Each structure stands twice: as C-alpha cells, then as structure tokens.
C-alpha cells in the first residue's frame, strides 16, 4: 500500500481530538503579508479556511492590503506623508484605501474561498456598523481605532454556513466618516467582540523571538509585557503583541502569532500537538 496514503490516514486519525475540541469554535484569522500576492499561497490559505468550516468551525477572515494600497496610490500620483513612521491618511487616501481593500483585495479572497468549494461573503467594517471607529491620532487623519462593534452580522453568516471575509475599513461616529483601521487591530477587535476561541495573526516571521533569536512557542501575557518593557519585543512585533494582549483582555481564549508563509500554518496550529508560532494565553 502507498506509504503516502498510510501517512495521510494516520494524520487524520491523530487530528481527531483537535477536530473534536474545535467543533463550533470561532477562529478569527488575520491574513496579510507576502502570501496575499502569491496565487498558490492564496489558494492554500483558502483551502485551509474551507477545511475549518467543513469540520464544524466558524472561521472569520480579516485581511490587510498595504502593498496593493501603495501600488494604487502610486498609479494615481497621490503622495504619502508619514508621521512617526505612520501614513497620514487624508480624504483622497482613505478613498483609495476603501476602494482597494473592499473592491480588490476582499473580492480576491472571497473568490479564492469559493474556488476551493467554500461559501464566502465579503464585508467591510462599514457594513451593518460592524466596526465603528474614532480617530486614533488627529495628526494621522482618517486612521481609526474601533470603539464599537456589531458582530451579529457575523453570527448570522455562521448560521447560514457562510465564511465572512472582512476588510478593515470602518465607519465613523459622525456622518459620512470613513476610517482606515490596521488589519491586526481590526482582527483583534472582532475576535474580542465574538469572544473567539482563537485569534491567528499570520505574519512574515515565525513568531515571537527571545533575546537569543529563538521562537518562544508559549507565552503568558505577563511575559509579553516584560519582553516589551525590556526591549526583547521590538519594532513591528510590538503592535501585534499589544493586539494579542487587548484581545485576551476582551475574552479571546488564546492568540497565536505565526508564519503565514508556512504551508498549512493555520492547520498545523489548530490540529497538531506541535502547533506553529507563538501562542499567548493565560497560564493553565
């Protein structure tokens, strides 16, 4: 008998306890990075999401799209200004952000999921007031942080057997306001409002590293705060870990920062004993 078939059957058998554990669980997955621009990686990601739904989980995909936004701004001749390393988002820029995220990136992901046999619906945070935001920093213009969430629309889609795919564009507290929201921040806010079992933050790095450069596979919130304070966690990992801490405070059971470039990264994390990346949760 073909050894590959035997290995596949063994893998499925070993996954059974994890499949049972996550039956009915809500898992919010932040998708971004280099995988978004690669057709094969996109298809692989979509297949993983469809499998989650097929085995009884309720996945929500929240995506970014920075490189596509940069490309479109360049084509339109809109120059970006930065304050403390963050893009100032004026009215012209936020219109491009909304167009790219909701009209281009979101629909590519929806189509990829549909191509793999799933059912998906694309939303932005503006739909049914899913994300209501206020200005995060007045100097940055229309860059927002969520202050209100209405996740009932997501629960309705779960019940209909549909996978929600969310673009991180939010409505404002005032009429006709639109805010660009960081994808990780949006995913954390949605996961917190849903009291999700897992928040998976797919990145372009293997996970949270210690002072010697080794990935730490399990972390408590206290350890994360200490690593931020002493500079072990630095740069772009700071906002990701802060998103994780905030999500845990709001009731998410665990947050995992993992390498989205790794094939089947989400499945490795959820359905194997080894897992993938760095899991952050309260000690058991």
| Cα Rg, the chain, nearest whole Å | 19
66 is in an annotated binding site: yes
Within 10 Å of residue 168's Cβ, how many Cβ atoms? 31
SS3 77: coil
Cα separation, 268 vs 263, in Å, equals 9
E-assigned strands of the chain? 26-31, 58-63, 82-83, 86-87, 120-124, 131-135, 144-149, 163-167, 169-172, 178-180, 198-203, 218-219, 254-259, 278-280
37 is in an annotated binding site: no
65 is in an annotated binding site: yes
77 is in an annotated binding site: no
Distance of CA 44 to the CA centre of its chain: 16
Q: At CA 240, angle to CA 261 and CA 157, rounded to 5?
A: 75
Cα separation, 3 vs 8, in Å, equals 9
Alpha-carbon dihedral angle through residues 65, 69, 70, 71, given to the nearest 10 degrees: 110
Of 187, 99, 83, give the one whose Cα is nearest residue 135: 83
**Residues making up the binding site:** 65-66, 87, 180
Q: List residues forming the annotated binding site for substrate.
A: 65-66, 87, 180
């Amino acid at each position: 008998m073909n050894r590959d078939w035997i290995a596949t059957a063994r893998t499925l058998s070993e996954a059974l306890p994890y499949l049972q554990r996550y039956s009915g669980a809500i898992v919010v997955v932040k998708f971004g990075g280099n995988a978004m621009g690669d057709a094969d990686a996109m298809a692989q990601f979509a297949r993983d999401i469809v499998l989650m739904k097929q085995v009884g989980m309720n996945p929500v995909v929240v995506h970014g799209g920075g490189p596509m936004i940069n490309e479109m701004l360049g084509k339109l001749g809109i120059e970006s200004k930065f304050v403390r390393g963050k893009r100032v988002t004026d009215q012209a820029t936020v219109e491009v952000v909304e167009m790219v995220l909701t009209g281009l990136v979101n629909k590519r992901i929806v189509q990829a999921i549909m191509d793999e046999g799933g059912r998906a619906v694309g939303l932005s945070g503006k739909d049914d007031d899913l994300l209501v935001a206020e200005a995060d920093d007045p100097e940055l213009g229309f860059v927002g942080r969520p202050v209100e969430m209405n996740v009932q629309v997501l629960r309705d889609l779960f019940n209909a057997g549909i996978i929600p795919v969310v673009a991180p564009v939010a409505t404002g507290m005032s009429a006709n306001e639109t805010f660009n929201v960081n994808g990780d921040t949006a995913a954390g806010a949605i996961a917190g409002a849903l009291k999700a079992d897992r928040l998976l933050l797919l990145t372009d790095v293997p996970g949270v590293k210690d002072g010697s450069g080794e990935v730490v596979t399990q972390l408590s919130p206290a350890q994360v705060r200490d690593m931020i304070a002493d500079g072990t966690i630095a740069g772009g990992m700071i906002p990701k870990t802060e998103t994780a801490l905030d999500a845990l405070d709001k009731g998410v059971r665990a947050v995992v920062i993992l390498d989205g470039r790794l094939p089947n990264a989400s499945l490795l994390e959820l359905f194997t004993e080894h897992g993938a990346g760095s899991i952050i949760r309260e000690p058991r």
